Amino acid sequence: MSMAQQAEPAVGTPPAPGRKETDGRTAERPLVLRLLARPEVGVFLGAVAVLVFFLIAAPAVRQGGSMATVLYQSSTIGIMALPVALLMIGGEFDLSSGVAVITSALTASMLSYQLTMNVWAGVIVALIVSLAIGAFNGWMVVRTGLPSFLVTLGTFLILQGVNLAVTKLITGNVATDDISNMDGFDQARKIFASSFDVGGVQVKITVVWWLVFAAIATWVLLRTKYGNWIFAVGGNKDSARAVGVPVNFTKITLFMTVGFGAWFVGMHQLFSFNTVQSGEGVGQELIYIAAAVIGGCLLTGGYGSAIGPVFGAFMFGMVNQGIVYAGWNPDWFKAFLGVMLLGAVLINLWVQRTATRR
Amino acid sequence: MTSNGTGTHGAVLPDTAPDRNGPIVELRGAGKSYGNIRALHGVDLEVHPSQVTCVLGDNGAGKSTLIKIISGLHQHTEGDVLVDGEPVRFTTPREALDKGIATVYQDLATVPLMPVWRNFFLGSEMTKGPWPIRRLDIARMKETADQELRNMGIVLDDLEQPIGTLSGGQRQCVAIARAVYFGARVLILDEPTAALGVKQSGVVLKYIAAARDRGLGVIFITHNPHHAYMVGDHFSVLRLGTLELSAARSEITLEELTNHMAGGAELAALKHELAQVRGVDVEELPEAEDLTAPVATSPSSEGTS
């Protein structure tokens, strides 16, 4: 016991502070600045601006029917933009999401038709295939540590080729056969591709699904453990792992969520058009990614919202249809998209700098 | 070596001090080789509750390897690592955490864009409600985080601000408070003062003392002997992967520690050579024979309580 000659360390315990004292160094920032720093506010203002612009420029947009069409167009992008946005917040992205939609629709269609089964069997198998594609993407990314850009570019090319080749092999054609007379078709159509009446305007059911999924995604992102993990794996993977977040599980399930979205949109296309063109879907993945980025998600991960991409998809649908209603050359669509995308990226950059300013 | 192994292996341990007297973590001749490179060799180290064990060393001395072995990121290849007197071999950081060994890394302690309270509970979130609608208990988490930070003497106006907006020292303090709250018995701090200014360093040292007074064993990795001497109870100096010095506070002065740390022995040998070079002031360098601090030839000579 050598306690006697042990010199006491020089630093003592800090004095216990009072209960409700503040450090007084952070001044309350103005409300406008705080609002603008939210990931979805910038895109909300953008969406309102685009809406007002076309309400003035294209009188046809003011009719209820036109609005329903705009919302329908937005929903088909928006349903996929949601999981793509979650994945992006989680720090990865998926270039195969566009053709994965077609893969899913082809699987369901050909399986039911060739084996003359109830369409629901095809729908279920397509779900399994879509989730498996997502799981494969995720597993490859976490196992190899390669950038998801490369891994999913590979999957994109594989699926694009398989879609065309297998369809030609089985049907002898680039499109699948019409399945509208198969068992269970009407039932499935009710869920994936029906319309309902709102004050004399036919609204597609995908609009409802879109908003339901957006609500669920928002809740998961902000109110659950899993949502916390999504932000963490995207924000700083190594920190997240060090404090015990299951990083690989989170990433793989995010890729599988994209698979689920691809399945849903694929089923919608199948049951609204009865057949599937095997060469479609190419380029759609960039539209989904753009909608997520315009919606305020940071391309490098760790920041974003689920409600932002809803407005992002709405801007897409609005511009796409608005140009038609205004009677302009639809070729301008892509130019508009480019401008919107650049604007969104600049806002994101500014937000990130403001949010992390010392 | 009494080993009434406590059953406190959960993520959240109660704030009670362990009821045994030996060291919580002990290294006996531990070492680590990466292929044919021996990064660490024959290191003895003891971590006692309510004591600060300082590990000093220059760049490349093996400090990081030592932490990684104790925190479960790497496995040792020679010697023994004992926790509560029982040999262990951690394969993941989670296993070390479950034994109450928490590490606060210099740079990967937090997720900058996430709010303070989310960072505080990351990986061990509080939830409420049954499964399909099980959700974060945000009110309770914010309140607890605020309370715990205040207990450590850290006062923040707004727990919603991204942790990236805090200063480096404040972030370290949040990470320390988090480790203390989640039942750490041993706190490993990897150069917490390296990137900080004088005042910020003082703040971090205060929290190290606070953690020690709450009964934690602290491993304080640093290359600043002044910081180490302000809070340390025991000092180990690593050089080229081996223990050069292992001394209790009572056996060593700040000057001796500084000399050892600054490569004093080597500099003294170089003194006469350096004296030939114009512009190098060697007046204050000690002679080699002045360095009389105990060297780690007799490990565990110190009977600590």
- Token representation of residue A349: 């950059």
Pair of tokens at residue B79? 């010697």
Name the DSSP class of A244.
T
Distance CA B273, CA B264 (A): 14
Q: What is the pLDDT of residues A276-317, one digit of tens each?
A: 999 898 989 999 999 998 888 888 888 889 999 999 999 989
Phi, psi angles (nearest 5°) of residue A268: -60, -45
Could you write out the DSSP letters of every residue in chain B?
Answer: ---------SSS--SPPPS--S-SEEEEEEEEEETTEEEEEEEEEEE-TT-EEEEEE-TTSSHHHHHHHHHTSS--SEEEEEETTEE---SSHHHHHHTTEEEE-SSTT--TTSBHHHHHHTTS--EES-GGG-EE-HHHHHHHHHHHHHHTT---S-TTSBGGGS-HHHHHHHHHHHHHHTT-SEEEEESTTTT--HHHHHHHHHHHHHHHHTT-EEEEEES-HHHHHHH-SEEEEEETTEEEEEEEGGG--HHHHHHHHTTHHHHHHHHHHHHHSTT---TTSPPGGG--SPBTTSTT-----
Residues A305, A221: Cα–Cα separation, whole Å: 8
Q: Is residue B223 part of a domain?
A: yes
- Chain A residues near residue B196 by CB distance under 8 angstroms: none
- Per-residue pLDDT reduced to its tens digit, A224-247: 999 999 999 999 888 888 787 899
Q: How high is the pLDDT of residue B109?
A: 65
Is A269 a residue whose pLDDT tops 60? Answer: yes
Query: What value does the mean pLDDT of chain A take?
Result: 86
Whether A38 and chain B come into contact, CB under 8 Å, resolves to no
Map tokens 């309102």 to a residue: A48
The residues in B 232-291 lying below 8 A from A, measured between CB atoms, are: 232-233, 248-250
pLDDT tens string A172-225: 888 888 888 888 899 999 999 999 988 888 999 999 999 999 999 999 999 999
- Reduce the DSSP state of residue A314 to 3 states and report it: helix
- Please list the residues that pair with B295 across neighbouring strands: B245
Spatial separation of the C-alpha atoms in residues A13 and A175, rounded to whole Å: 75
Q: What is the CATH number of the domain that holds B194?
A: 3.40.50.300
Of A308-312, B91-95, B184-188, the one with minimum mean pLDDT is: B91-95
- pLDDT of A323 > 60? The answer is yes
Q: How far is B279 from chain A (nearest CA, A)?
A: 36
Whether A22 and B157 lie within 8 Å, measured CB to CB: yes
Of A125 and B238, more confident: A125
Cα–Cα distance, B268 to B282 (Å, whole number): 9
How far is the C-alpha of B241 from the C-alpha of B45, rounded, in Å?
Answer: 13
pLDDT reading at A139 higher than 50: yes
Q: Position B98: which residue type?
A: D
The rounded distance, in Å, linking the Cα atoms of A68 and A151 is: 37
* pLDDT tens per residue, range B99-108: 888 888 776 5
Residue B281 corresponds to which tokens in the numbers above? 């002031």
B211/chain A closest Cα distance in angstroms: 9
Which tens digits make up the pLDDT trace of A329-344?
A: 888 888 888 888 888 7
Chain A residues with beta carbon closer than 8 angstroms to that of B11? 244
**Higher-scoring residue by pLDDT: B136, B19:** B136
A126 vs B78: which has the higher pLDDT: A126
Sign of the torsion angle spanned by Cα atoms B153, B192, B106, B54: negative
> Of A15-29, A258-272, B70-84, B219-233, which one has max mean pLDDT?
A258-272
Residues of A in contact with B173 (CB under 8 A): none
Residue contact B113–A302, C-beta within 8 A? yes
Exposed, middle or buried by CB within 10 Å (0-12, 13-18, 19+), for B6? Answer: middle
Domain that holds residue B251: 25-111+183-290
Cβ B118–A231 below 8 Å, yes or no? yes
**Amino acid found at B116:** V
The ranges assigned to domains in chain A are: 52-191+203-351
Torsion of CA B62, B65, B66, B68, to 10 degrees: 160
In what order do the strands lie in the sheet containing B25-34?
B37-47, B25-34, B78-83, B86-87
Q: Is residue B197, in this structure, part of any structural domain at all?
A: yes
Residue B126 touches partner A, C-beta closer than 8 Å: no
Q: How far is A134 from A18, CA to CA, in rounded Å?
A: 52
CA A170 to chain centre: 32
Chain B CB within 8 Å of residue A194 CB: no
Q: Over 80: is that where the pLDDT of B114 sits?
A: yes
Instruction: Band the pLDDT of A155: cuts 50, 70, 90.
Output: very high
Contact by Cβ (8 Å): A138, A260: no
> By CA distance, what is B164's nearest residue in A?
A356
Test A243 with B123 for CB contact under 8 angstroms.
yes
* Residue closest to A120 by CA, chosen among A271, A265, A260, A258: A271
- Interface probe with A: pick from B97, B108, B121, B122, most Cβ of A within 10 Å: B122
Q: Write down the mean pLDDT value for chain B.
A: 78
- DSSP code at position A58: -
Nearest to B123 among A10, A244, A298 (CB): A244
Asked if B208's CB is within 8 angstroms of A5's CB, the reply is no
Band of the pLDDT at A33, cuts 50, 70, 90?
Answer: low
Task: Report the relative pairing of strands A201-204 and B25-34 from DSSP bridges.
Answer: unpaired
Kindly indicate the confidence band of residue A61, based on its pLDDT and cuts at 50, 70 and 90: confident
pLDDT at position B4 is 39
What would the pLDDT profile of B187-210 be if each residue is shown by its tens digit? Answer: 898 888 877 778 778 888 888 888
Q: Is A33 an 8 Å CB contact of chain B?
A: no
ipTM of the complex: 0.78
- The fold for domain A52-191+203-351 equals ABC transporter involved in vitamin B12 uptake, BtuC (1.10.3470)
DSSP B157-176: S-TTSBGGGS-HHHHHHHHH
**A234: nearest CA in chain B?**
B111
Task: Say if the Cβ atoms of B113 and A352 lie within 8 Å.
Answer: yes
Least confident window among A1-5, A26-30, A142-146, B175-179 = A1-5
The rounded distance, in Å, linking the Cα atoms of B213 and A245 is 29
Confidence of residue B8 (pLDDT cuts 50, 70, 90): very low
Rounded CA-CA distance A61/B115 in Å is 41
pLDDT of residue B272: 67
Question: Which token pair is B300?
Answer: 């565990």
State yes or no: pLDDT of B11 exceeds 90: no
B10 pLDDT band, cuts 50/70/90, is: very low
Diameter over CA atoms, chain A: 94
Q: What is the pLDDT of residue B14?
A: 43
What confidence tier does A34 reach under pLDDT thresholds 50, 70, 90?
Answer: low
Q: What DSSP string runs through A163-207?
A: HHHHHHHHHSSSBPPP-TTSTTHHHHHHHHH-EEEETTEEEEHHH
Closest CA to B196 of B219, B218, B222: B222
DSSP assigned state of A306: S
Could you say which DSSP state residue A59 is in?
Answer: G
Quickly tell me which residue has 């080993």 as its tokens: B3
DSSP A104-123: HHHHHHHHHHHTT--HHHHH
Instruction: Name the one residue in this structure whose structure tokens are 């715990």.
Output: B148
Amino acid B302: pLDDT: 41
End-to-end, the C-alpha distance of chain A in Å comes to: 48
Return the SS3 of A17: coil
pLDDT tens-place string over residues B271-302: 667 677 766 666 666 665 555 544 444 444 44
Taking CA–CA distances from A20, the nearest residue in chain B reads: B155
More confident residue, B257 or B48: B48
Smallest CA–CA separation between A229 and chain B, in Å?
8
Confidence check: pLDDT of B16 > 80:
no
Handedness of CA A80, A83, A86, A92 (dihedral sign): negative
Q: Which of A 216-245 lie inside 8 A of B, CB atoms?
A: 219, 223-225, 227-228, 231-232, 235-236, 238-245
Lowest-confidence pick of A15-19, A30-34, A78-82: A15-19
Where does the pLDDT of residue A37 fall: very low under 50, low under 70, confident under 90, or very high at 90 and above? low
How many residue pairs bridge chain A and chain B with CB atoms within 8 Å of each other?
141
Q: Which of residues 271-290 of A touch B (CB under 8 A)?
A: none
Could you give the number of structural domains in chain B?
1
Tokens of A178: 């019409």
